[in-house]
Amino acid sequence: MTDTITLRGTVGTDPRQVTTANGIDITSFRLASPQRRYDREKQAWIDGDTNWYTVSTYRQLARNAGGSIKKGDPVIVTGRLKVRPWEAGDKKGVSIEVDAESLGHDLHWGTTTYSRSLRSTESDGSAEPKVGPGDAEADALIEEETARAELAEAERADEVVTPF
């Protein structure tokens, strides 16, 4: 059985990028997911325990994560949960890992800029764009996304931001 989980947290280590002997890219990092609650009596946020996860990304997601995510970034991860017991001499523990299917910055805490990545499609590793120039449908989607981004930026300029 595969359990899918979505986590919010902070990248706790510098992402580590490797390429296997078979040419598969892997990027992994530790994710800190603190438990916080609001204490009405103290009128303050109280930190609880922090859960730690090892997040692994593969192939295109690994390449994109390696170029986008860094230690300290707030992120949201969705993936397959793996819980494994381990032993090392007289020490025992449990490893909690997530094989990420999706990964991105948590926009609750800031903004980010999206740029479409090129996919490697040839056996020689050359990159081809996902959509080609002159593709009317793709051009319309890009135009629509550009208009949405401009509207969002205009709305942000009118927005009053209060620090917390």
Q: Which pLDDT tens digit goes with each residue over 62-99? A: 999 999 999 999 999 999 999 989 898 899 988 899 99
Tell me how far apart the terminal alpha carbons of the chain are, to the nearest angstrom.
42
- Torsion sign over Cα 55, 58, 62, 64: negative
Share of the chain above pLDDT 70, in %: 71
Res 148: pLDDT:
63
Is residue 12 within 8 Å of 31, Cβ to Cβ?
Answer: yes
Average pLDDT on 9-20 reads: 94
| More confident of the two residues 4 and 128 | 4
User: Which residue did the predictor score with more confidence, 7 or 117?
Assistant: 7
**Shortest CA distance to 27 belongs to which of 83, 95, 103?**
103
129, HSE (Cβ side, Cα atoms, 13 Å) = 8
Position 136 pLDDT exceeds 70: no
Quickly state the pLDDT bin for 36 (edges 50, 70, 90): confident
Domains of the chain with bracketed CATH: 3-108 (2.40.50.140)
Phi, psi of 151 (to 5 degrees): -65, -45
CA 47 to chain CA centroid, nearest Å: 23
Q: Rounded to two decimals, what is the model's pTM?
A: 0.66
**Is 29 a residue whose pLDDT tops 90?**
yes
Check residue 135 and give its pLDDT: 55
Asked whether residue 37 carries a pLDDT value surpassing 90, the answer given is no
38-68 pLDDT, tens digit each: 889 999 988 889 999 999 999 999 999 999 9
Q: What's phi and psi for 128, nearest 5 deg?
A: -120, 140
Are 79 and 72 in contact by the 8 Å Cβ rule? The answer is: no
Does residue 139 register a pLDDT over 50? Answer: yes
Query: Which residues are CB-contacts of 92 (< 8 A; sequence separation ≥ 6)?
Result: 85, 86
The pLDDT-based confidence of 132 (bands split at 50, 70, 90) is: very low
Task: Give the C-alpha distances (Å, rounded to integers) separating 65 from 21, 49, 80.
Answer: 20, 27, 17
